[in-house]
Chains A and B, each alone.
Chain A
Amino acid sequence: MMKNVYSRPSGIFEGAVTGFCPGCMHSSVCKVVAEVLDELGMVNNACYVQGVGCCGLAVTYFDMDTVAAPHGRACAIASAFKRCSPETLVFTYQGDGDLAAIGLAETMSAANRGENFTVIFVNNGIYGMTGGQMAPTTMVGVKTTTTPYGRSESEHGAPLHMCEILSQLEAPAYIARVTLADVPNAKKAKAAVKKAFQYQLDGKGFSFVEFVSNCPTNWGMSPLESLDHVHNVILKEFPLGEFRAK
């Protein structure tokens, strides 16, 4: 007898063809989110608000209800949507340019109001979709298409640490930074997503999970090199862990 040990999560399209680049962890983030929704039995009662950028490619993956947001506005839309449809599990799916640059006001304000939805934030330190421009999370010294001489702290500022910034607010219920760059951390990441969604289901308020991710294409690295880079460099700037668990 064959035993089924793993199946495609029901929230991922059958035969989905990835729009993400080879080695990009976005598709794995989508998979983890969909697995958790299955475990919670919420795929049929979920809606994700998609940001603009590579995160928008999730539309080729997630087989669940969705609202597309203008660049940066996902947290404003999710705030209103959730208040009008409290029985729906609502999460935004946003990258770092979307969430931490153009959408900073919407992110901070929704968090400060303690809106009862979840943010899935994929931080790869760059604008991927538009071809590798500097993001608010880009490391100092890194050359991008708009920092051809490297990000300079005096000119461009230091990287924004969203978990740390949000932790200054009173309202957020759950804040965690995770990564899928290795198996033990991937297990922790999935647990964090589950916890965040459970917080929402329990009506505890704003929950936020940041995935430290990679961008082999725009980092100019092979997928494996990009994972090493996450471990050796990025995680030193963006430490993992739970910042808030009310």
Chain B
Amino acid sequence: MSEKIFMKGCEAVAETAVRAGCRFFAGYPITPQNDVPEYFARRMPQVGGVFIQGESEVASSNMAYGAAAAGVRSMTSSSSCGISLKSEAISWMAGARLPVVVANFQRGGPGIGTIQPAQQDYTQATKASGNGGFKMLVLSPSTLQEAVDMTWQAFELADKYSNPVLLLMDGFTGTMMEPVELPEALSDEQVAAIRATKTWAATGKKGGPQHKVMCGPGLDTRISQEQMNIRDGKMYEEWKTTEVEYEDYMTEDAEVILTAYGISGRIAKSAVGILRAEGIKAGLIRPKKVYPFPDEAYEKLNFDTLKGIVCAEMAIPAQFAVDVENVVHGRTKIATALSSGGEILDRSAIVEAARALCGK
């Protein structure tokens, strides 16, 4: 590992991507993620990679699809309303089973909303990032070091499952600066070796059988869309046992649980200490992957002694809290601490909600 450097979130993600062997990026300007395409524009020529500023989000996400079809580690990023435009290609990536990393630096919504940080795309990210009922692994960091680690992990997972992976960031984690330790860059040989494993890439038959990067069966009568859906559905089911990832913090003796993901998870974590200092035994559950949802983290709580759960997120109406409610299923009280549309989540609102659940 190299030394710690002080970096902005967008740039830390982009630099990690390059080190992870990403050699194609296409994007389109939208705040608050402009530092990502700008960084790649400077960096890609230095490593023999390709950067294209697309004519739209629609085009740039399709470009990421095209690069992945050529076997290259490929990425695109955007923010909220831009991700809606990218959903066409994201759905095709999932249908064609192409490994691409997509990053969403969430801002307020609906529509153009605001340019400030928000977490209002949770439902879109975890339930339907496009038509057709596909799923993606969705990683959501709460610190920049975690953003670096998850960016690396996202490329590994995309290749492992040959499926798009979503990095669910927000305007905070994109634009704030923190010291980060970056991973050692893959060598050109390692990057080439990874590409060489993608024997399905459509770069010419070279005397062998045809390679088809297709979304759906096309006119191939040997496989049906249903068979493809069943195949993909099995993979999504498998993720529920193999890919669940969360942070469990001081939950063992907890009388109240705070739960949040991404930047809100970090704010909620800082509330645990405040509550503990007041004599309220608080704990934290912070999903690191929001898809698949970590049901087990909540299932193992002692509902006989638990006074309630506070769901904190930057979305009104709440979205993440719905998944928590679905797991808890009435076994304990659920309160929310929310902000939206670019307003910063107030830690004192989390603390207040926890106190209220504990009758204090």
Contact = CB atoms under 8 A, between A and B. Distances in A.
Interface string A47-58: 101000000110
Interface stretch (B212-220, B243-251, B296-304, B348-356): B212-220
Most buried by B among A56, A59, A85: A85
Given A88-B204, A109-B55, A79 B213 contact: no
Dominant secondary structure at the A interface: helix
A77 B206 contact: no
Contacts of A101: none
Contacts of A57: 219
B48 to A, nearest CB: 11
Contact of A83 (B52, B89, B203): B52
Most buried by B among A49, A65, A105, A106: A65
B67 A81 contact: yes
Interface string B11-40: 000000000000110100000000000000
Nearest to A42: B204
Given A68-B218, A77-B63, A80-B24, 15 more contacts: A47-B202, A56-B218, A66-B202, A66-B210, A67-B66, A70-B92, A76-B54, A80-B50, A80-B65, A84-B24, A84-B67, A85-B201, A87-B204, A106-B55, A106-B58
Contacts of B215: 68, 70
Interface of A: 19, 43-47, 49, 56-57, 59-60, 63-70, 73, 76-81, 83-85, 87-88, 105-106, 108-109
A46 B204 contact: yes
28 contacts: A44-B204, A45-B204, A47-B202, A47-B203, A56-B219, A59-B212, A64-B210, A65-B203, A65-B205, A65-B210, A65-B211, A66-B202, A66-B210, A67-B202, A68-B214, A68-B218, A73-B59, A73-B62, A76-B66, A80-B65, A80-B70, A81-B66, A81-B69, A84-B24, A85-B201, A85-B203, A88-B204, A109-B59
A80 B215 CA distance: 18
A87 to B, nearest CB: 8
B220 to A, nearest CB: 8
A105 B59 contact: yes
Contacts of B55: 76, 105-106, 108-109
Interface of B: 23-24, 26, 50, 52, 54-56, 58-60, 62-67, 69-72, 74, 88-89, 92, 96, 201-207, 210-215, 218-220
A60 B60 CA distance: 29
Contacts of B63: 76-77, 79-80
Nearest to A43: B205
Nearest to B91: A70
Contacts of A109: 54-55, 59
